[in-house]
C-alpha cells in the first residue's frame, strides 16, 4: 500500500537550517508544515478523509523520554459500518524519517501500540486504510525533542549481546478482549548519530520488517523505520482462531533473520 522513504534532505532539512540560523528551533505557525508534502509523497495522490469517529491515535501531549514515546492506533468503526481496518501508517511529521511504520493487520487486530522516537515538537498523523480501500486520517500533537539523535542504548554492551532476542506475551484476561505483544531486542540505530571519535555516522541498523502469525493467519506485518524506538515493541488486539502456536519473524537492515514460536494460551 505505502512505501517508506527516508527524507533526509529536502524541505524539512531546509526548514531546520533556516530556524537554526536564527539561533533557536521553535515550531511556530510560520515554520514550514511538512504534512502536505508528506501526503503527496507517501500517499501518492490518494485522498485522505477525516477519520474522526472511525480511527484514533493516542499519545502523551508531552513525552517524558523522547526516545520512548508510547503511541496507540485504533480502529473504532461503529457497529453499523461493516468495514474493517486493513492497514495503518504512522507518521511523525517533524522526524528526519517521518514514516515511522506501516502495519498490515489481520482479522480482529483493531488496536496497535508501540513506542516511537520523537525528534522535535510535532504533529503525528495516523492514516488507516479500510477494507473498501478508502484512507482516513487523524492526528495529535506531541512535545518532545531529541528522540532520533538522542543517545541510543542505556547500556551499549548489553544491546549487542542480546541482539534479536524475542519475547511474546498474551493478555487474555482483559474485558477489552485478548491482546498479544511481540518484543525484539534491537538497538534500532537511526544512523543519525555521529561518533565523535571516528567522526563517522553510527550506521543505520534497524528492524526493517516484522511479521506475526497466529497459526497460518498473518496477524501483523510491520515495515519499520528509524522512528521506532530501541527494542521494537508491538502490542495489539486480535481474535483467537484456535491455532496452537504463534510465530514471528523479523529481518533487520544487516540481513539478520530472527524467528520465534510460542504456544497459544487458552482464552482466559
Partner 1 sequence: MFFPQHFNSLVRISAAFCITALAGTTASTFSQQSIDPLPISEVAPGVYVHFGVNELMNAENYGAIANVGFVVGADAVAVIDTGGSVREGRALRQAVQRVTDKAIKYVINTHAHPDHVFGNAAFEGPAVFVGHHNLPRALATNGPFYIKAFRREMKSTLDDVKIVPPTLVVDDEVKLDLGDRSLALKAWRTSHTDSDLTVFDPMSGVLFAGDLLFVQHVPVLDGSVIGWLKTIDDLARIAATRVVPGHGGMGDWPDALAAERTYLRRLASDCRDLIKRGIPLVQAADIAGASQKSNWELFDEYNKRNATAAYSELEWE
Query: Rule CB under 8 A: which residues touch partner 1?
Result: 24, 58, 60, 64-65, 68, 70, 72, 113, 115, 145-146, 149-152, 154-158, 162, 165, 167, 169, 171, 173-174, 179, 183, 185, 193-197, 202, 231, 233, 235
Minimum CB–partner distance for residue 144 and partner 1 (Å)? 11
108 or 146: whose CB is closer to partner 1? 146
For the beta carbon of residue 40, count every other beta carbon within 10 angstroms.
10
Q: Which of 103, 127, 113, 90 is nearest to 221 (CA)?
A: 103
Q: Which is nearer to partner 1, 72 or 134 (CB)?
A: 72
Q: Cell numbers 534500532 label which residue?
A: 188
Phi, psi values for residue 17, rounded to 5°: -65, -40
CB of 146 to partner 1, least distance (A): 5
Nearer of residues 122 and 130 to partner 1, judged by Cβ: 122
Spatial separation of the C-alpha atoms in residues 181 and 159, rounded to whole Å: 20
Closest C-alpha among 99, 96, 53, 58 to residue 235: 58
The Cα–Cα gap between 115 and 124 comes to 13
Q: Which is nearer to partner 1, 93 or 179 (CB)?
A: 179
CB of 188 to partner 1, least distance (A): 13
- CB atoms under 10 Å from CB of 103, counted, come to 23
Min dist. Cβ of residue 59 to partner 1 (A)? 8
Amino acid at each position: 500500500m505505502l512505501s517508506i522513504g527516508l527524507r533526509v534532505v529536502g524541505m524539512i532539512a531546509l526548514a531546520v537550517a533556516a530556524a537554526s540560523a536564527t539561533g533557536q528551533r521553535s515550531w511556530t505557525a510560520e515554520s514550514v508544515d511538512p504534512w502536505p508534502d508528506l501526503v503527496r509523497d507517501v500517499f501518492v495522490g490518494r485522498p485522505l478523509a477525516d477519520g474522526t469517529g472511525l480511527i484514533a491515535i493516542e499519545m502523551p501531549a508531552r513525552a517524558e523520554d523522547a526516545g520512548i514515546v508510547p503511541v496507540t492506533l485504533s480502529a473504532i468503526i461503529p457497529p453499523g459500518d461493516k468495514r474493517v481496518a486493513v492497514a495503518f501508517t504512522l507518521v511523525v511529521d517533524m522526524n528526519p524519517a517521518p514514516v515511522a511504520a506501516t502495519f498490515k493487520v489481520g482479522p480482529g487486530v483493531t488496536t496497535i501500540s508501540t513506542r516511537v522516537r520523537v525528534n522535535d515538537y510535532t504533529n503525528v498523523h495516523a492514516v488507516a486504510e479500510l477494507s473498501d480501500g478508502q484512507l482516513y486520517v487523524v492526528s495529535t500533537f506531541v512535545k518532545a525533542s531529541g528522540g532520533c539523535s538522542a543517545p541510543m542504548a542505556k547500556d551499549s554492551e548489553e544491546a549487542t549481546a542480546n541482539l534479536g532476542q524475542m519475547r511474546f506475551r498474551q493478555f487474555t484476561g482483559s474485558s477489552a478482549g485478548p491482546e498479544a505483544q511481540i518484543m525484539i531486542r534491537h538497538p534500532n540505530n537511526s544512523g543519525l548519530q555521529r561518533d565523535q571519535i571516528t567522526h563517522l555516522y553510527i550506521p543505520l541498523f534497524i528492524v526493517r520488517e516484522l511479521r506475526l502469525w497466529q497459526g497460518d493467519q498473518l496477524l501483523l506485518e510491520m515495515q519499520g523505520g528509524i522512528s521506532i524506538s530501541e527494542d521494537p515493541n508491538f502490542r495489539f488486539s486480535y481474535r483467537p482462531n484456535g491455532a496452537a502456536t504463534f510465530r514471528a519473524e523479523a529481518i533487520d537492515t544487516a540481513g539478520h533473520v530472527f524467528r520465534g514460536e510460542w504456544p497459544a494460551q487458552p482464552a482466559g
